[in-house]
Structure 1
Amino acid sequence: MVGLLEPRLYFLEERDEQVLSKRILSLSRSNKVRSAFDLYMSVEVSGLQASLHACNSLLSCLLRNQLLDDALRIFDMMKEKEMTSGHTYSLILKAVANTRGSDSALKMFGELEAKGVAKNCFDAIVYNTMISICAKANNWVQAERIWRNMKENHQSGTTITYNLLVSIFVRCDQNELALDAYHEMIQDGLKPSEDIMIAVIVTCTKDGKWSLALSIFQNMLESGFNPSTTACNALINSLGKAGEVELAFKVYDLVRSLGHAPDTYTWNALLGALYSGNRYGDVLRLFESIKREQNSQLNLHLYNKALMSCRRLALWDQSLQLLWQMETSGLPVPTASYNFVIGACEVARKPKVALQVYEHMVHQNCTPDIFTYLSLIRACIWGSLWAEVEEILEHVAPDVSLYNTIIQGMCLRGKTTSARKLYMKMRERGLKPDGKTRALMLQNFTKDSVRQGNRYRFRK
């Protein structure tokens, strides 16, 4: 029912506008759209005027029945008589957005603003409606513009206003705008909801503003809120990234005191905090504790944190055990996990074990990446496994990082002749060496020239 209704006009014996308005209101609320529409048009033709409340109720009735064109006709008649309110504009703009899209609603809103309607008729509800329309379309640019215009027209935001603004800005990664909206809300004396506080804590986590996140968390407690596990995890994660390990564990203790059971996100945040604080042994101890008491919550992220710590501590044997546990538990083991194990072998100077892990990785149909080969080659260089280095280089696509690593390793291990040959091969393939490689080659070329000169003088 998109087309315009043809009104059936009545001769009105009743001339009291208040009585007629109540009838229109009653018919509209009962969803008798045809009768309400005909009565309203009859009132208009008779030179009478229905109340604003009755008109808005009729608009709602028409829009409920998807008669947008008829609602727009009534809307235009109301504008001509200057009988509109914020509720009127909110109804129409929302209906236009739902039927014709957010761009059409924004266009209509802009036209109304240009005519000066905003200063006299727009209230917080209208602005909230438009910000909500922008939020559904993730149009944060227009949401910010409407927010600025709202303040210019001396309209104060409500809790709903800031809830919408913070949500869209956080969702669109506009963290500074989200924090601006939150601070303005506090300045206006409005109390943020728990959802807003959680969203702002998450935003602070992304920007590393752990002190602000901690302050908001404390405000939640003082306001009588029971922070959710999500909020606690976000704060622990923020504190961990900042190296505030002790504070992170204090929040963890609070999580348990609030009756929340720690989940995988909690454990990941705590392990991350310990790792950021260079407490690699504590990472492994906590991981083993989780494995004993919460084995079902172990996931790829937790295993990788433990493997990263093994690499830092050169615990190649323990990293192998963790890798075996991952494979037997049915977890899909990605390339990064194998890289951590090979890295632990590299640090521990166990090149043959690193090669075995590499072969097992390929056998498991896991594709190595450039980091795999770099770690493997470094391990082989320190073990003087030159044949294995050459074999790896032959089976891998030419990469400047690999050549730089091998040449530098050869120079440092005194294999200058092999380094020079590989350097020439590198240049022939069009690969550009880095500054360190060029400096080492130049240094060794100078030394060889001096040796040859000394030999020549000795023979003479």
Structure 2
Amino acid sequence: MRITKPITLYRDLSYFHSLLKSCIHGEISSSPITIFRDLLRSSLTPNHITMSIFLQATTTSLNSFKLQVEQVQTHLTKSGLDRFVYVKTSLLNLYLKKGCVTSAQMLFDEMPERDTVVWNALICGYSRNGYECDAWKLFIVMLQQGFSPSATTLVNLLPFCGQCGFVSQGRSVHGVAAKSGLELDSQVKNALISFYSKCAELGSAEVLFREMKDKSTVSWNTMIGAYSQSGLQEEAITVFKNMFEKNVEISPVTIINLLSAHVSHEPLHCLVVKCGMVNDISVVTSLVCAYSRCGCLVSAERLYASAKQDSIVGLTSIVSCYAEKGDMDIAVVYFSKTRQLCMKIDAVALVGILHGCKKSSHIDIGMSLHGYAIKSGLCTKTLVVNGLITMYSKFDDVETVLFLFEQLQETPLISWNSVISGCVQSGRASTAFEVFHQMMLTGGLLPDAITIASLLAGCSQLCCLNLGKELHGYTLRNNFENENFVCTALIDMYAKCGNEVQAESVFKSIKAPCTATWNSMISGYSLSGLQHRALSCYLEMREKGLKPDEITFLGVLSACNHGGFVDEGKICFRAMIKEFGISPTLQHYALMVGLLGRACLFTEALYLIWKMDIKPDSAVWGALLSACIIHRELEVGEYVARKMFMLDYKNGGLYVLMSNLYATEAMWDDVVRVRNMMKDNGYDGYLGVSQI
């Protein structure tokens, strides 16, 4: 029998170096610490090369980092290997990649000798960990001491310059790159293109892009992204077409950049399918956001459902879109799904959902979202608190608005504006002015155009002309009259305070009035009893080529109603529906019914109500009942009263109107009966009776 000697694998330092390098590239699952311990057990002595490779491999694998790195550092000191600069550089890199910036800084300060690599390593580490200012300062010191930056250093510094708008600093980096020859590096050139585009210097970005001889996919993507950030859709498409013609590989970033430029999502979706990117979660998420943004929620939902991985960005995009449309029931379903998947939405997404809580029926949903904000810690963010203030303002809950405002640790101007605007919207103009005076007493903050517009709306509520004039003076001194919404608020204030001459003066001072400004002028004339001028203003607006909206027609129909212009009212109502495609709201119908009723056209008014696309409310029926009182139309009045009673039997206005109708016909028994019904429903039955 032949006995073969077992083969013994010779394990020298090269063998262990090979294993450690495999760890760096992720080719084996063994821990670098385990391999290093095996090396020590094999009676081999690690040298400076071993330690350098080991530290590089350790970067991605240490769990109990603090304890193990201390052991490694102790071994380096005892063995004397820490005298090698590149060994310490590897250790410094290890600290930085684990976020231990202070330890890395201390190690750098202790180094008696430093080479270019260690300077670049610390600068890049600072940038990666959010210490951009320290990175920039260190970069300057590095240049002063005669060391040359690497391409990676410049690539890490340029994004900071672009984000902060530090144009001169970025140009200095460009100068260093040109002087050192690093400008020819494709990574540096891409970073420079991105920097110039973020600083709104697309001309420089275009020159750099044209100079590039070998443009990679990254280079093309950078230029498409530059145009996308600047909102230049056509230019982004042109670059993409050139990229496509040159057979450059299209990457997920290409698609994402094009979608961010609001390029038509349907052709891009086809391209995604053709290029086999349907499983890329970032591409699918961007497409979901694009479909949601365009209101194509069915497609967005189907695409999201087809994704192999759930995405918080895609899901919150769908939620926010439903909330924006006011469909809070479905928005809540998707929001609940984020909770089931243990996803945490951010402040921006939460505010988007809060903005959907517009109706009084949404108050429970809004309060639940408020609870989530408290539980998740988002209520500490000013953005979320401002969103909650706006939401509670819609529910006329001023006390909660003021409570939330008092809880803010920092109160920027936007928060003061939210509270002031909220108080005015809730009909508490006096409270809004109290908050404004408190803001002025704190010092350091001056009202902006939004503050003034909100306060002017408050003056309109209080009919406080003198205070409105003071605000007008402040507007002129601070050049706010260039803001259309401020001028619109001024016109509205003067009109509601009975000074139509000054309202006209402000209107004529505007070079190009927008639709909202014309609306204020039309409504102002109507309120001042100048119905003919209101209609003339509407016709002039049409001649200027501006498209009226539903608020325009509210002002016009109100003028027709008060002036008794039946034919003009009919023409405008018909134009609103057929010519401009605007669906009438309950307010439009109430004005039109009131106009027909006042003209004694009861049959026509009833026919209009019967053919309404939406269910008539008490305001619509009430407008007709008021007309019945004027014309003493008892039969129609009783029919309308029954309809109103079925809608809301607790409506006190119904009993007052019916009592007045019976009184005009001297039907005193019926007057008593109606008053008794009022008492049964909680009213005193003597509304309008003088005690004198």
Q: Matched residue of 2:409: which SS?
A: coil
Instruction: Indicate the residue corresponding to 2:274 in structure 1.
Output: 219
> Over aligned residues, Cα RMSD in angstroms?
3.8
CA separation of 1:306 and 1:272: change in aligned 2, threshold 3 A: closer
- Which residue of 245, 249, 271 maps to 2:297? 245
Q: Matched residue of 2:356: which SS?
A: helix
Q: Which runs of 5+ in 2 are unaligned?
A: 1-115, 117-148, 154-174, 195-204, 441-445, 503-692
CA distance in 2, matches of 1:297, 1:369: 28
- Which residue of 103, 117, 134 maps to 2:178? 103
Letter in 1 for 2:294: A
In the alignment, structure 1 residue 396 sits paired with structure 2 residue 439? yes
Shift of 1:422: 1.0
Shift of 1:104: 4.2
Render the CA deviation track for 1:65-96: whole Å, top value 9, x for unaligned.
x9xxxxxxxxxxxxxxxxxxxxxxxxxxxx99
Render the CA deviation track for 1:145-175: whole Å, top value 9, x for unaligned.
225xx5xxxxxx7xxx341322332454567
Instruction: Indicate the residue corresponding to 1:330 in structure 2.
Output: 377
CA separation of 1:389 and 1:314: change in aligned 2, threshold 3 A: farther
Letter in 1 for 2:223: F
Render the CA deviation track for 1:186-212: whole Å, top value 9, x for unaligned.
334x362xxx33112111221111234
TM-score, normalised via structure 1 length: 0.56
In the alignment, structure 1 residue 308 sits paired with structure 2 residue 366? no
Contact map agreement 1:268 1:301 (CA 8 A) in 2: no
Q: Matched residue of 1:243: which SS?
A: coil
Instruction: Indicate the residue corresponding to 1:457 in structure 2.
Output: none
CA distance in 2, matches of 1:216, 1:252: 18
- Which residue of 464, 467, 470 maps to 1:422? 467
- Which residue of 350, 367, 392 maps to 1:320? 367
Shift of 1:377: 3.4
Letter in 2 for 1:261: Q
- Which residue of 186, 189, 192 maps to 1:134? 189
Letter in 2 for 1:214: H
In the alignment, structure 1 residue 145 sits paired with structure 2 residue 220? no
Contact map agreement 1:314 1:344 (CA 8 A) in 2: no
Higher relative contact order, structure no. (Cα contacts within 8 Å, ≥ 6 residues apart) = 1
CA distance in 1, matches of 2:473, 2:296: 51
Letter in 2 for 1:135: N
Letter in 2 for 1:144: F
Letter in 2 for 1:230: S
Shift of 1:101: 5.6
In the alignment, structure 1 residue 405 sits paired with structure 2 residue 445? no
CA distance in 2, matches of 1:337, 1:427: 32
Q: For residues 3-42 of structure 1, what are the structure 2 equivalents within 5 Å?
A: none
Instruction: Indicate the residue corresponding to 1:342 in structure 2.
Output: 389
CA distance in 2, matches of 1:136, 1:381: 48
- Which residue of 357, 360, 365 maps to 2:401? 357
CA distance in 2, matches of 1:381, 1:237: 35
Letter in 2 for 1:425: E
Letter in 2 for 1:199: V
Shift of 1:287: 0.5
CA separation of 1:278 and 1:205: change in aligned 2, threshold 3 A: farther
CA separation of 1:446 and 1:218: change in aligned 2, threshold 3 A: same
Q: Matched residue of 2:338: which SS?
A: helix
Letter in 2 for 1:426: L
CA distance in 2, matches of 1:295, 1:404: 42
Q: Which runs of 5+ in 1 are unaligned?
A: 1-65, 67-94, 110-128, 151-156, 450-460
Shift of 1:238: 1.6
Contact map agreement 1:248 1:273 (CA 8 A) in 2: no
- Which residue of 331, 338, 350 maps to 1:283? 331
Q: For residues 372-383 of structure 1, what are the structure 2 equivalents within 5 Å?
A: 372-381=415-424, 383=426
Deviates more, 1:397-406 or 1:240-249: 397-406
Letter in 1 for 2:402: Y
Shift of 1:389: 2.5
In the alignment, structure 1 residue 294 sits paired with structure 2 residue 359? no
Letter in 1 for 2:220: V
Render the CA deviation track for 1:267-317: whole Å, top value 9, x for unaligned.
2232244345554432222112322x1234343344323212224676234
Contact map agreement 1:241 1:272 (CA 8 A) in 2: no
CA separation of 1:184 and 1:296: change in aligned 2, threshold 3 A: closer
Instruction: Indicate the residue corresponding to 2:222 in structure 1.
Output: 168
Contact map agreement 1:316 1:341 (CA 8 A) in 2: no
CA distance in 2, matches of 1:181, 1:104: 29
Deviates more, 1:234-243 or 1:312-321: 312-321
Q: Matched residue of 2:309: which SS?
A: coil
CA distance in 2, matches of 1:388, 1:319: 23
CA distance in 1, matches of 2:318, 2:152: 45
Instruction: Indicate the residue corresponding to 1:25 in structure 2.
Output: none
CA distance in 2, matches of 1:250, 1:263: 14
Q: Matched residue of 1:316: which SS?
A: helix
Matched residue count: 305
CA distance in 2, matches of 1:359, 1:263: 35
